[in-house]
Every structure is written in structure tokens, then in C-alpha cells.
Amino acid sequence: MQPTILYGALTATSLLTLLLGIRLFLVWDDLRRIRKELEKTREESYNRNLRVNVSDREVEKLAAQINKNLDYQKELKRETERSRRQLEQSISDIAHDLRTPLTVVKGNLQMLETENLSEQGRDYLKVSSKKAETLKQMVDEFFELSVLESDSKPVELRGLDLIEFLSEFIIENETLIRQHELTPEILFPEKGITVLANRECLTRVFSNLMGNVLKYAKEGFLLQVTREASLCRIRMGNRVEDPDAIDVEHIFDRTYRADKARSDGSAGLGLYIARLLVTKQKGSISAVLEDGRLFFDVMLQIERPMT
């Protein structure tokens, strides 16, 4: 082969290799931009399409197909959200509609207590009153849950003197504690702790936890406050009859019950609602079993002093 022809072939091969290299680099650069755009799209909950300037028709077709799939995902998301809101509204409406007749039923039952009933009649009245109260509690829980899950607005957090708050809470519930013949073990630090919380939400959280204590505690319960760096741990719990029957991994799930056959006058939403309310306060709640005792740990942020 003549040197001129060989040189020309080498030049053409080098040029072709260079063009292929440039082509591959452009395709690689397109794919890199698509990957970054997908990351942005995911961060924005898929509320955007890919925005890329591609240099290859096949890559362009790929980007277009990805956008079609993203549009489909967004439509599914919107449909799921619509269905969720409709379900929550239906639950709220049903709970609201049940409240009025239940109030009337309870009022009539209370009026019957003043009547001259036979012993058997009073037994029937007692059972009916108890079932009416059970149903009312269930309706109230469903109504509260529907309101909480549909309200996406953040709650207002303020500095709250936790020791003062818990002391008042125990005093307010002293009658119930005495009626259940429980002895509280209260362990508070000497120095006060100010946490970032919402008083109304926190009251509901500990009302639900106290309700759990009143149902299952036999002799007493623990209420302890400790400080852990920038967080405050509030531990509340009691000894339980059958620790093996409690699944702490799912105890905050909706409608969880350790004893599914037991009717305790609630829909099993108390702990689930407590978790929702703690989360709204940028805190966390967990459960742990230790030596036959079930403890709930609520973690809240400590308010930092102004500098």
C-alpha cells in the first residue's frame, strides 16, 4: 500500500474515531443532564417535567418517553390525593352526622336514670349507657383523626415549661388516678426545662397516653423527664400483664390493638393520633418493653435561649 493511501486511511480513521468520541461524549453529557433533571424532579415530588437540550434523536425520544411516564405518575398522584381527601371528608361527615343522634340517645338514657325502673330495667339501662359512651368515643376518635390528617398546616410551637405543664396535667387527672387506685412514680429534674411545643397538642398526646395507663396499669405508673443534649425525653409507662402480646413495632399503627377481642371503648386510634400530634410538633414518640413494663418515650426539642 502506498504511503499516501496509508496516511489517508489513518487520517480518516483518526477523524472517525474523534467524531465517534465526540458523539459518545455528547450522548454521555445528555444522559448526565437527564439524571440530574430526574433528581430535581424527584425532589419536587414529580411536579415538573425533564428540561434538557439533547443532541441525539434517540436520547431525545428517551427523554420524551420519561416525561410521558412522569405525566402518568403525576396524574396517579393527583387521583390518589383526590381519593384520600374524599375518604377523609366522608369519615368526617359520617362522624359529624353520628354525633347529634348519639348526643340525643345519651341524653335520653340519662333522663331514664331518674325514672322508677325495675332492677332488670336498670341493668339494661346501664349496659345501654355504656355502649352509647363507647360508640361516642369511637366517633370522636374518627372525627379527630379525619381533622388531623386533612390539616396540613404546621402547628404553632412556643416555649413551654414542661415540668409545670406535666405537674398541672397530673393534678387535673388526680381524680381518675385515684379512682383506678394507681400510685404514680414521678421523677422530674430539679431544674425546669423549656421545650418547643404546642400546649393543646401536647395535652392531647398525654391524655391519650394516660388513657392507655388507666386501661392497663394495675398498681402504678411512671412519669419521668430527662434531658438528652438538645432534646427532652418524657417517659410514661406501666407494667403489663402479657408483654409477649404487645408488638411495639406496630403499636402506633392505625387501629392497633394488643388484644383484638377486647372491647375497651375506643377505636384503637389513641396512640396513632398521639404519634401524629407529636410529629406535628417536630418531635418523635417510640415504645419499648423493659422487664415486663411498657414505656412510651416522647422526644421534644429544647428551646434554645436567646443570645
Q: What is the pLDDT of residue 307?
A: 47
**How many C-beta neighbours within 10 Å does residue 106 have?**
16
The rounded average pLDDT for each run of 10 residues, N- to C-terminus, in the chain (307 residues) is 63 70 71 76 66 68 78 82 76 73 81 83 84 79 72 84 94 90 91 91 92 86 91 92 83 71 58 91 92 92 72
Across the chain, what does the average pLDDT equal? Answer: 80
Q: Answer whether CATH 3.30.565.10 is correct for domain 158-301.
A: yes
User: In this structure, what C-alpha cell is assigned to residue 265?
Assistant: 371503648
User: In this structure, what C-alpha cell is assigned to residue 122?
Assistant: 336498670
According to DSSP, the residues that pair with 286 across neighbouring strands are 297
DSSP letter at 268 equals S
Phi, then psi, of 281 in degrees rounded to 5? -95, 15
User: For cell 361527615, what's the residue?
Assistant: 93
State how far the Cα of 260 lies from the Cα of 264, in Å rounded to an integer: 10
State how far the Cα of 242 lies from the Cα of 257, in Å rounded to an integer: 13
CA torsion sign for 135, 140, 146, 149 is negative
Residues 150-183: pLDDT tens digits? 666 788 999 999 999 999 999 999 998 998 889 9
User: In this structure, what C-alpha cell is assigned to residue 245?
Assistant: 402480646
Q: What is the pLDDT of residue 261?
A: 42
According to DSSP, the residues that pair with 294 across neighbouring strands are 238, 289
Q: What is the pLDDT of residue 126?
A: 85
According to DSSP, the residues that pair with 295 across neighbouring strands are 237, 288
According to DSSP, the residues that pair with 185 across neighbouring strands are 222
State how far the Cα of 221 lies from the Cα of 178, in Å rounded to an integer: 12
State how far the Cα of 154 lies from the Cα of 280, in Å rounded to an integer: 7
